């Protein structure tokens, strides 16, 4: 199997954490993978994106029009990274609205939900991953596999992250 994911956000949103989760998932299933991060000189607030290539690949960068899935932790960063998406690909994005495109777009204003107290804003990355699990049919990993990976990275925060993940999945299904 081959699956290419772009995660787009800004510094501080936990883009790299998602790379780690997905890379551990791939490892557990015996899939080959390569992933890389794109960021400049900023630490907080600057553009950050990650490319994750699951399967038989040889370089970590996803080229234009190649990604199966775009996870956007921020609306503007998601729009900026649209050129990587293939026709008919999937977009799961933190946004109140999103451009009409020839792709499966699932937009949720997660910022608003965080403000309303549905989940802790610091867990936005996990919430978006939960939405992805709920809504993207061909996503290569299951909820349990994601939970195992989250626990492996940081057992201490695992219960909070599980809670956020489950809330996202519940929200995504409704």
Partner 1 sequence: MKLTLMGNEAIAYGLLHSNTKMVSGYPGTPSSEILTTVQKIKKDLPVYAEWATNEKVGFEVAYAGAIAGVNAAATMKQVGLNVASDALMSASFIGNKGAFVLIVADDPGFNSSQTEQDSREFARFARIPVVDPATPQEAYDFTKLASKISKHFEIPVMLRTVMRVSHSREIVEIDGNFEFKDTEGNFERDIPRWAAVPRAGRLKQAYEQLDRLDKIREYNYNELIKPKIEELKGTENLIISSGTAYGYVKEVLEELGLDIDLLKIDMPYPLPVDKLKDLVKKYNKVLVVEETYPVIEEEIRSENVYGRMSGHMHQIDEMNKERVLEALTKIGFYNGENIYKPVFTPENPKTRKPNLCPGCPHRDVYFAIKKVFRPKKSIYPSDIGCYTLGINLDAIDTVLCMGGSVSMAHGFAIADKNKTVIATIGDSTFFHSGTAPLINAVYQKAKFILVILDNSTTAMTGRQTTPERATSGEVDIKKVAEGCGAEVMEYFYKPDINETINFFKEVKKRFDETDRPLVVVSRQYCVLDKERATQFLPGIFATVDEEKCVACDVCTTQYVCPPMAYNERGKIEIDPLLCIGCGVCISGICPTDAFIPREK
- Residues interacting with partner 1, by CB under 8 A? 10, 12, 19-20, 23-24, 26-27, 32-47, 57-61, 63-66, 76-77, 79-80, 82-87, 99, 101-103, 111, 114-115, 121
**Distance between CA atoms of residues 150 and 157, nearest Å:** 9
Q: How far is the CB of 126 from partner 1 (least distance, A)?
A: 15
Element (H, E) at 106: strand 104-108
Identity of the residue, 31 or 162, whose beta carbon is nearer to partner 1 in the bound complex: 31
Identity of the residue, 61 or 173, whose beta carbon is nearer to partner 1 in the bound complex: 61
Total count of residues recorded for the chain: 174
Identity of the residue, 24 or 169, whose beta carbon is nearer to partner 1 in the bound complex: 24
**Distance between CA atoms of residues 5 and 10, nearest Å:** 16
Backbone phi, then psi, for 51, in 5-degree steps?
Answer: -110, 130
Q: How far is the CB of 144 from partner 1 (least distance, A)?
A: 18
**Distance between CA atoms of residues 85 and 149, nearest Å:** 26
Identity of the residue, 50 or 161, whose beta carbon is nearer to partner 1 in the bound complex: 50
């Amino acid at each position: 199997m081959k699956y290419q994911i772009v995660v787009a956000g800004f510094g501080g949103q936990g883009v790299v954490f998602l790379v780690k989760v997905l890379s551990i998932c791939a490892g557990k299933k015996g899939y080959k993978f390569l992933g890389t991060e794109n960021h400049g000189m900023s630490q907080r607030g600057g553009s950050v994106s990650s490319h994750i290539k699951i399967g038989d690949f040889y370089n970590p960068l996803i080229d234009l029009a190649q990604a199966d899935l775009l996870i956007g932790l921020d609306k503007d960063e998601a729009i900026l990274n649209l050129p990587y998406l293939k026709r008919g690909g999937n977009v799961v994005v933190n946004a109140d609205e999103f451009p009409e495109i020839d792709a499966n777009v699932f937009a949720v204003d997660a910022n608003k939900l965080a403000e309303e107290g549905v989940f802790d804003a610091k867990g936005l990355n996990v919430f978006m991953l939960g939405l992805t699990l709920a809504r993207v049919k061909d996503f290569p990993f299951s909820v349990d596999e994601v939970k195992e990976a989250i626990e492996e990275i940081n057992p201490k925060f695992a219960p909070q992250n599980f809670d956020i993940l489950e809330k996202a999945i519940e929200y995504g299904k409704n």
